[in-house]
Amino acid sequence: MPNSVIIIGLGFVGLTTAAFFANRGVKVYGVDTDIQRIEAIKETRIPFFEPKLDHFVKKALLSRMLIVNNDLYDGVKNSKFIFICVGTPMGQDGKVDLTSITKASKDIGTAIKNVKKYQVICVKSTVPPRTTENTILTQIEKISGKRAYKDFGIGFIPEFLSEGSAIKDMTKPHKIVIGTNDTKSLLSIDNFLMKIYGMGIHTIKTSIISAELIKYANNAFLATKISFINTIANICNNLPGTDVDVVAKALGSDPRIGNQFLVAGPGYGGSCLPKDLSGFIKSCKETGYEPILLRAIDAVNKDQISIIIDILSKRLGTLNGKAISILGTAFKKGTDDIRESVSINLIRKLKNFANINVHDPKALENTKQIFGRSIRYSYSIKDVVTDCDCIIIMTEWDEYKEITQKQILENNKNRIVLVVDTRRLLKIKKTNKIDYVALGKNTFHYK
């Protein structure tokens, strides 16, 4: 059986990693400073929505392969591998907030001070290049009195998990990146991961700083593809007879491009792409390089809200007092995560002069924590599409594909309804009662 490990930080990455390792026969100590989070996990009440994760956590807890508490020292002294999975949110200035990383590093330094065995620290939190060596390693050395590469090993092992498919991504990763600066750390981490995954996994072995850069570059490229296809969608809006989905399909069929992330929409959000791109831009500036392309990607994404509001203004005239229904507040389907959600930002811009009604299959409670009683919440699709001047589909939930033209007409008999479909989910034709706009779809008809 592989050596025991401690996972520090039980958020999306940490809890997924802990549950997966435990179900692969590894003794896992899961540690978090949030006592309420710990108690919820012990009762298999996952603090966020992620498909199938509750099943994996429950199985791991019942088998006692996963022990969850706030005792970092106990977990460290019993573990060969120490995984850092704490959050690295975006600060007010756009830079990465390393507060939790610094605290975890100091705590680890204190915990390993009197541990005699050789341990390997594995950083999975996304951090700017040079952070592992200049912040984490130095803090651990300073407080523990130990020397890296002699008394303990250290490596950066980035995660590539997508919310909504984390278990699948963890079970069958596209790649594993191991960033280390010494042979002993590399062999230890590589042997550990091979015992879990077996042979056949595409593994890239490189330096710590290159691994940190790979994580940033990976997310920046995904953001690039999204902003690129959204730019094409915006062009299609002004070119009658064009369809962004047809263009994307043609582009994606080229093996040099690929079809993933070539789906036009209202812009990217979530806990990764916005903060990682922002952190990457700040990191580049600190090296003396001005990342013009990265800034353009960010600008295109932020401008998508203006595109939507411009459509509303042109089609509805004044927005004052209009009843606007927004379908979907999660940044994408399959999650309840509303961090950096374009839909949330749109609501912020509209709620002061329009009457907002929102629906989301999973994210309504999180949405309430932001807006409270300033907007209305619907728990059924029928309610959210009733008595409204405008319907805006923001999240690509499968439930929204079932909305029909008849349903909209029957629930809005005395109104002309503007439907803005940012995901092009619906099959609706323009009538004298429905003004249907699908972003990037200026439908072409054969004569």
Q: In the chain, which residues have pLDDT < 70?
A: 1-2, 444-447
> Cβ–Cβ contacts within 10 Å for residue 70, how many?
15
Q: How many CB atoms lie within 10 A of CB 392?
A: 26
How many Å is the Cα radius of gyration of the chain?
Answer: 24
Q: Where would I find the H helices in 43-136? A: 53-62, 72-77, 99-112, 131
**Which pLDDT value is given to residue 81?**
98
pLDDT at 348: 97
pLDDT of amino acid 446: 44
Supply the pLDDT for residue 447. Answer: 42
Helix H or strand E segment including 310: helix 292-316
The answer to whether the beta carbons of residues 420 and 312 sit under 8 Å apart is yes
Distance CA 336, CA 394 (A): 14
The CATH superfamily label for domain 252-438 reads: NAD(P)-binding Rossmann-like Domain (3.40.50.720)
Q: Which pLDDT belongs to residue 101?
A: 97
Cα–Cα distance measured from residue 208 to residue 258, given in angstroms and rounded to the nearest whole number: 28
- At 103-153, the pLDDT tens digits run 999 999 999 999 999 999 999 999 999 999 999 999 999 999 999 999 999
Tell me how far apart the alpha carbons of residues 6 and 12 are, in angstroms, rounded to a whole number.
16
DSSP letter (8 states) at residue 181 = S
Active site residue 390: no
Residue 445, pLDDT score: 47
122, 236, 272, 284: the catalytic one is 272
Distance of CA 43 to the CA centre of its chain: 25
- What does the domain layout of the chain look like in residue ranges? 5-206, 252-438
pLDDT at 444: 52
Q: Which CATH number among 3.40.50.1820, 2.60.40.10, 3.50.40.10, 3.40.50.720 corresponds to the domain 5-206? A: 3.40.50.720
Distance CA 380, CA 360 (A): 9
H/E segment holding residue 327: strand 323-327
What's the CA gap between 183 and 201, in Å, rounded?
20
The set of long-range contacts for 24-27, using a CB threshold of 8 Å and a minimum separation of 24, is 24/196, 25/1, 25/65, 26/1, 26/2, 26/65, 26/196, 27/1, 27/65, 27/67, 27/78
C-alpha dihedral, 241 to 242 to 246 to 248, nearest 10°: 180
How far apart are alpha carbons 110 and 397 in whole angstroms?
Answer: 46
State how far the Cα of 222 lies from the Cα of 12, in Å rounded to an integer: 20
In a 10 Å sphere around its CB, with 0-12 CB exposed, 13-18 middle and 19+ buried, how is residue 373 labelled?
A: exposed
Asked, colleague to colleague, whether 5-206 and 252-438 share their fold, the answer is: yes
